[in-house]
């Protein structure tokens, strides 16, 4: 933290193959586990035998966040019950 208890902003960038985190002008690739956590999956959910990190990133990139899908499902259920 700097003076006044204000934290610096962390910028994230995404390209077709990887997610990046920029801190203090250094770029660090997010680990597959960090990406899983950000999307609401359990740790090592994509860590199947023989899967490379690239494959895990692709699997996560093609998935949908758990909490978002849960919210959509709840809304669909709510509308279905109202429509009865």
Mean of per-residue pLDDT scores for the chain: 83
Cβ(35)–Cβ(65) under 8 Å?
A: no
pLDDT in tens, 43-74: 999 999 999 999 999 999 999 998 899 999 99
Q: Which residues form the domain of 22?
A: 3-83
The Cα–Cα gap between 42 and 3 comes to 37
Domain total in the chain: 1
Which residues, 6+ apart, have CB-to-CB distance to 32 below 8 Å? Answer: 46, 47, 53, 56, 57, 60
């Amino acid at each position: 933290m700097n003076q006044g208890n204000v934290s610096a902003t962390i910028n994230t960038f995404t390209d077709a193959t990887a997610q990046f985190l920029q801190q203090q002008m250094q770029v660090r690739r997010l680990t597959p586990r960090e990406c899983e956590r950000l999307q609401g999956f359990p740790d090592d959910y994509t860590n199947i035998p023989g899967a490379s990190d690239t494959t895990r990133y692709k699997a996560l990139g093609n998935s949908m966040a758990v909490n978002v899908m849960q919210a959509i499902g709840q809304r669909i259920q709510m509308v279905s019950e109202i429509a009865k």
